[in-house]
A and B are shown apart, each in its own frame.
Chain A
Amino acid sequence: MTTFDTRLLAALAVLAFVLMAVSRIRISDVKILFWFSFVFMVLNNVLIFLFSPEHGCSIYGSRTEICHLFLRYYLVNEQLFYQFNVVLKYLATIPVVIVFVSTTDPSEFASSLNRIGISYKIAYSVSLALRYIPDIQREYHDISNSQQARGLEMASRKQSLIKRLKNAVMMIFPLIISSMDRIERIANAMELRGFGKDRKRTWYSARPFRVSDYIAIAVCILMLAASIALNFINGGRYFNPFAL
């Protein structure tokens, strides 16, 4: 998780895109996710450069100047390499996340959380959250429409900040009160069915482990081992080509 070894990151990024291809997710379905993460990545890189244009030098312990840009900003080899690593890190994680989000069944996710040792009550909370997001979203849009029909102005730049926050409360408050009722209703239904009486529970959506699952786990352990081993070989989190 904390590695910044260029070779490992590059390998992981390739693996991530292979996974993406194998999963047969249609690009058109996840285009918007890619777009969001791309903007986030660019923004973060720009911020890193603006705040600390020579962070790379302190990491790699050398400074190879290419040219002067403006004010205190120089184009430096080490910084370019450091930010290249930051980009690689995104490339290695974004496709995996997209694959995970678009191929995981919420109820199977809850049962898996329970299997890896998380208390089933917490796993069930996660499953409840995933189950009720669409409902609460719909309710929020209903409330928003009816408040606007009553003349509540939606957050616009013309209003003062306090006014905007107060308007937000006018939208949020009905949502929360109805959610409180919802909480009581669901909790009663669950209690009536004996939820939480036993230390363990079974899951309708639980699946037995198959050979491919063991292989996947083995690959993950290998990658973790590689990142820890590289940490010792490099004498830190970074692979330093400037010291070679």
Chain B
Amino acid sequence: MKKSPVITVVAIGIGAALFFVLGRFVSIPTPVPNTNFSTQYGLLGFMAGLFGPLAGLLIAFIGHALIDFSYGWGIWWSWVIASGAAGLIMGLAAKKLCLSSEPFDAKKALTFNIFQVVAQIIAWGLIAPIFDIIIYAEPANKVFTQGLVAGLSNIVTTAVIGTLLCFAYSKARPAEGSLKKE
């Protein structure tokens, strides 16, 4: 796939719509009551890994803002910003992954997961709680605990769903140079 700027624009739009639909309708109950795995972060890891940091940032930012809007409580800026940051950092892996042209192997799966873990630790462990304190003046121990819980569950979701998506996608796409002249 050639990366024309139009592709990125459309990928951001469709990616944000997918992020919204997964966030609203596809959540997986965990053994802990009232806690769900947010499958959209698996999607985010995959889309950011395919389309790069800018796409990752905007998919997460727009998608998360739309989810918040749809619930009516207004945009919870601190977490929207954190989502955007997670998308941005995950997207930095795109250059190393080359998802659209090279096969996705165990080594690349490791790269993908290193990037996503770092991204989410920064997003949920630092950015979200710090902005919660700056904007909403919430108690520090509450926001850091929330960040920790959300971060851990998102890391697990992204590790499983994101990695599987990358494998499945690269298998479904014909590898570059797989056609031979006869």
A residues near B157, Cβ cutoff 8 Å = 165
**Complex-state Cα separation, A196 to B4, whole angstroms:** 10
Chain A residues bordering chain B, tally (CB within 8 A): 71
- A97 x B17 contact (CB < 8 A): no
Identify which of B81-89, B109-117, B119-127, B158-166 touches chain A. B158-166
- A140 x B21 contact (CB < 8 A): yes
- B145 x A51 contact (CB < 8 A): yes
- A121 x B5 contact (CB < 8 A): yes
Is the C-beta of A231 less than 8 angstroms from some C-beta in chain B? no
Chain A 1-27 against B: per-residue CB contact (8 Å), 1 yes, 0 no? Answer: 110100000000000000000000000
**Complex-state Cα separation, A169 to B158, whole angstroms:** 11
B residues near A191, Cβ cutoff 8 Å = 4, 6
Per DSSP, chain A at the interface is: helix
Is the C-beta of B168 less than 8 angstroms from some C-beta in chain A? yes
A residues near B77, Cβ cutoff 8 Å = 1
Chain B residues bordering chain A, tally (CB within 8 A): 60
- A182 x B28 contact (CB < 8 A): no
Of A51, A122, A140, A172, the most chain B CB neighbours within 10 A belong to A172
**Complex-state Cα separation, A105 to B26, whole angstroms:** 27
Residues on B facing A (Cβ under 8 Å): 1, 4-7, 9-14, 16-18, 20-22, 25-26, 28-31, 37, 39, 42-43, 46, 58, 62-63, 66, 69-75, 77, 134-142, 145-146, 156-157, 160-161, 164-165, 168-169, 172
* Apart from A155-B28, A161-B31: 5 A-B pairs, beta carbons within 8 A: A2-B137, A47-B146, A51-B139, A129-B66, A172-B22
